[in-house]
Amino acid sequence: MMRTVFILMVFSLFSFSVHASDPLEKGENKSWSFLGPFGTYNKSSLQRGLQVYTEVCSSCHSLKYIAYRNLSDLGYNKEEIKAFSANFTVMDGPNDDGEMFERPGRPSDHFVSPYPNVNAAKAANGGAYPPDLSLITKARGGGADYLYSLLIGYKEAPDSIKVLEGMYYNKYYSGNLIAMPQPLYDDGVVYADGTKASIEQMASDVTEFLSWAAEPEMEERKRTGIAAIAFLLIMAVLSYMAKQQIWANLKKKQT
């Protein structure tokens, strides 16, 4: 019994790790810190990723499932979150006169969308709707590797490919032609911690941030899972020892 339980536990951990690191057919594969059963987010990378999202991505892409108060997971305190959320304008209401009004953001507000509605978003982007990024690493095959590869995949198109007006060549995008212009350039942001803002660094940081946005409870879930497995393993050992003791007593009585 104990051997069977142990094998199942090891198999579960091994399966999780393999699934989390499935290679892409086409793209870059990174050793992300949050992969595997013991994976954790890098808070410094998360904070840099938030900066990249805020300064680059948020002008087109929403993050509607994340509230400003969730940024406490990134290591920010209440005052920092309050100051950060106040930088954004939220449409609220109606007031006592039945009218909508604008106010500074609060920690309880969700990230403000750059557009008031879907049609406005399409109109501002030539008919293409910029997807919400809250679950982007879960919604795309390849997850974090896919997003990272896409962000660093903007290159000069080979002579064999004709790039239509309003389209851009990306070596990792399916079909190689994408409507989204290249978002990241070297030194596109000035990191608060002094890290060199290369395209690869910014792509890595914002990918880690968006992986957290898609699964902010990941670290707690893994800790709970490991604790549960450890408990079951201990119980299996105790059960085996109890069984051995019980049968040993029975054998003594029979003899």
Instruction: Quick: pLDDT tens for 179-223.
Output: 999 999 999 999 999 999 999 999 999 999 999 999 999 888 888
User: Domain segments of the chain: what residues?
Assistant: 2-61+132-254
Q: Which residues have a Cβ under 8 Å from the Cβ of 172 and sit 6 or more positions away?
A: 26, 27, 28, 146, 149, 150, 152, 153
Q: What is the pLDDT of residue 8?
A: 45
Cα 100 to Cα 40: distance, rounded to the nearest angstrom? 42
CATH superfamily of 2-61+132-254: Cytochrome c-like domain (1.10.760.10)
Quick one: which H or E segment has residue 90? strand 89-92
Q: Tokens at residue 70, please?
A: 């969730």
Task: State what percent of residues in the chain have pLDDT above 90.
Answer: 64
> Of 104-108, 137-141, 250-254, where does the model show the most confidence?
104-108
Q: What does each C-alpha distance from 31 to 23, 34, 48, 60, 200 come to in angstroms?
A: 11, 9, 18, 28, 14
Instruction: Supply the pLDDT for residue 26.
Output: 66
